[in-house]
Amino acid sequence: MAINKNSIAFNFYLGGLGALPPLSIDMGLPALTTIASSLHTTEAAAALTLSLFLAGFAVAPVAGGPLSDRFGRRPVLLGGCLIFALAAIGSTFAPTIELLLFFRLLQGVGAGAAAVLVMALIRDLFEGNEARAKLSYVGILRSFAPMIAPTLGAWMLLFGNWRWIYGFTAIGGILLLLVTYFGFAESAKHERIPLSYKALRQSYTEVISHRVSFGYASLNAMMFGAMFAYVSNSPLLLIGVYKMSNQLFGYLFAGTALGIMLGALVNGKLSDRNISHTVPLAAGLLIASSASLCNVAITLLGYAAPATLLPCLFLCTFSAGLVAPNAAHGCMHPMPKIAGVASAVLTFTQMIVGALSSAIVAYLYDERSALAMTGVMATFIVSAALTYFIVVKPAEQKLA
């Protein structure tokens, strides 16, 4: 029996699909040193468990989106969940770092193939403010993953070992596979897009050349790049420099991640009241720009510490909760017949910019200060704001 699209269960299902990436990434943050010790390798090699997962996640939507436009959403969802679950099991029992990295790459592929279709499913089934509200409420559920993941990972390390972390993701993947198989009916009702080089080129060209659709994908990617600069550097900064325990880091990370959930909740309420998307979008970009620049100033003046940085970090994550649902809807809305391709572009650009952001932060990090993190965050957030106000908003007004 198919899950009703207007039910709370359907919201949880979409939230679960969207939570695969942050859960798979953030739970492992406190375990990198332990993995390196257990598998007799370096911490740099252990950190590749994050990078390769992201690489797999970035590549999968490029194929998964068009495949879903051709064959439907359900087969791609089933394949993605199956690959994710099997790779998570492989990661759990991997005897060497080489095998662990291989399975993490596959796990990223599975997560990417499944999670990319959350946006396409919403585009298939909902319109206008209803779609924006659905994206927001799914974002609230998805936000629980980064809130609890580092803390959950830290407690698993306290009572077990790092293999418990990947075992937990395996159970999650199996549950989603079963729900998809027994509870999800095909959502794509439009005419199937041919799977040929010419058709794919036309579809991707249509999205990339569309000033509004690709503009929203770009600003969404830049906001994600800012958030991932924080995600990737915060363990090194807070645990390494400021000597926090794994458990305290988990709690503080959850506190800032709570901002995303609150921002998405506010956006959902505004959408329910038919408030234009421009209001939370512009507010979120302006708040995030101000907060990120404030943290740069705090760092340059020598006042950087958890107590001084975290309030503005919270404002940045709150703003991300306001911006992300509207940016995703803005990208998807003009592309109803090729929602899978549009979702692939949205996800691919997001993950590529996230990987680029983490690489820049890693290169600039001096193991002493917060300047690399705060500087990269501010650069990406201000770039996102400029993209919206200079490129996207004028183009959107012309189409109105």
Distance CA 318, CA 311 (A): 11
- The candidate with the shortest Cα–Cα distance to 139, out of 252, 280, 310, is 280
Number of H helices and E strands in the chain, helices first, is 16, 0
CA atoms within 13 A on the CB side of 13: 24
| Domains along the chain with CATH numbers | 8-184+191-399 (1.20.1250.20)
Q: Please give the DSSP secondary-structure letter assigned to residue 367.
A: S
Query: Measured between alpha carbons, how far is residue 295 from residues 20, 39, 84 in Å?
Result: 30, 38, 37
Query: Measured between alpha carbons, how far is residue 239 from residues 5, 35, 263, 315 in Å?
Result: 42, 17, 27, 22
The pLDDT of residue 223 is: 95
Query: Measured between alpha carbons, how far is residue 381 from residues 178, 275, 365 in Å?
Result: 39, 24, 19
Here the tokens at position 323 are 């911006």
- What residues in the chain have per-residue pLDDT under 50? none
- Cβ(111)–Cβ(20) under 8 Å? yes
- The candidate with the shortest Cα–Cα distance to 324, out of 237, 219, 226, is 219
- Cβ(374)–Cβ(309) under 8 Å? yes
Cβ partners under 8 Å of residue 231, min gap 6: 25, 26, 29, 146, 358
Output the pTM of the full model.
0.77
The pLDDT of residue 185 is: 78
Distance CA 291, CA 306 (A): 15
State how far Cα 327 lies from the chain centre.
13
Distance CA 334, CA 207 (A): 9
Distance CA 114, CA 118 (A): 8
CB count in 10 Å sphere of residue 266: 17
